[in-house]
Structures are given as structure tokens and as C-alpha cells.
Amino acid sequence: MCSFVHASKITRDILWGCGGPAIYLEQLSPTDEAMNAKILDSIAYWLQADTARVEEVVTQSQHIKIITQILKQTELIYLNIITIVCRFTRISKAVALSLSTYPDFINEIIHRYSSALRAEDRMTVKDSRVPNEASNPQVVKQGLEILLNICLAHPNPRAYLNSHSLYPLLTQIAKTAQARNLVIIEDIVGSLVSIYNTGQAASTAPAR
């Protein structure tokens, strides 16, 4: 079923007549992580191909809620899922903003990625909500990219970062990334700090 989305525009138009992206989003399940990755990847492809129409479906509150739930519940292939969600926020400002207004989503980002780099010793602490993969630099990178994409889409990114007390956390992450020579993460945090200091997002996102 997921392969149909990749087939052709004609096929996607037929799928749209049968319920469109909603029929895929409604198949997401906390018990099948591999299938969730395939479904979300298909939605990301569809979002890229037909952004205006698909983002109207993805940004519906029930779909933002289920995407967040899947993100929170995934353990075995967490990097796969967060990478796809990051694609959503990169492709569509509307999706990025919708996710940013859902408290559980931003709390998940802060808890599962940003806190993983807050200090070296935090990465060795046992936490039932934070799998070992949470300290994987690639996982942290995707989480920070989501925050950056949100800020690039947000009309007042400084206020948004302040509303979640993120600036102190970002400065700590920057120090840890520099100490561990995590250049890409340091660059993304630098972009977020720059947005905070200027009070506005740049017209285009930095290459990453």
C-alpha cells in the first residue's frame, strides 16, 4: 500500500479519492514500528510532491497528536522515525508550526534530544524514557534540526524559545558539542542562538 504513494501522480490522485493521506495516518500503530516508518516515509514523499494539499491533512489536530504519540512510543528504530518527522518540518512550515503548538511534541523534543547533550554524565544515567539511542549524535542532530525548522517558520522564534526556556539549554548543548567535536550539532545550535539573539529567523535555512 505504501508503494502506491511513490508510483505516480495519477496513482496518488486515485488514492486521494479514496481518503488521501488520512487513510495512511490512521494506520499508524504503537505496536508496529517498522510499518510506522514506511507509512510516515510515504506521507513525507506525498508532502514533498503535493505540499499544499497534504499539509492540510497532516496539520489536523488528530494527526499531529498521533504523530507525536508514535514518536514518543518508538524505541527500536527511533532514529528512523525522528528523521522522517524532521523531513516533515523541513518540507512544510505549516506542519512545523502545527507540531510546535502541540505541548507533548516539543516536550518530547526537549526531553529526548536536547537533554541528551546537556552534560556528559547525563548520557550515562538510566532513564526508562530515554533509550541509549537518545545520546546518538544523529538523533540529537535531528531533534535540533526540528527546533531550527520550527524557528525558521515561526513569526516570533525568540518568544517561542523563551516560552520553553530553551536558550540556557542551547548554550549548554553548544559547549558540550564543542567539547566532543560534534561540528554539525554545534553549527545547528549556533543557528538557533543566532535566531534568538537577532529575534528573527534568517530568510533561508543554513545548509545541513
- All domains in the chain, ordered by first residue: 2-198 (1.25.10.10)
pLDDT at 201 over 80: no
Q: How much is the pTM? A: 0.87
99-139 pLDDT, tens digit per residue, is 999 989 988 888 776 556 544 444 444 444 444 555 578 88
- Dist CA 89 CA 94 (whole Å): 8
Q: Hey, what's the cell of 25?
A: 495516518
133-158 pLDDT, tens digit per residue, is 555 788 889 999 999 999 999 999 99
Output the pLDDT for position 196. 93
Question: How much is the mean pLDDT over the chain?
Answer: 86
Q: Hey, what's the cell of 107?
A: 516536550
In the DSSP assignment, the letter for residue 165 is T
29-74 pLDDT, tens digit per residue, is 988 999 999 999 999 999 999 999 999 999 999 999 999 999 999 9
pLDDT at 19 over 70: yes
**Is the distance from CB of 39 to CB of 70 less than 8 angstroms?**
no
- Dist CA 138 CA 143 (whole Å): 9
For residue 207, what pLDDT band results from cuts at 50, 70 and 90?
Answer: very low
Which residues, 6 or more positions from 196, have their beta carbon under 8 angstroms from its beta carbon?
A: 157, 158, 161, 167, 170
Q: Hey, what's the cell of 19?
A: 481518503
Output the pLDDT for position 130. 46
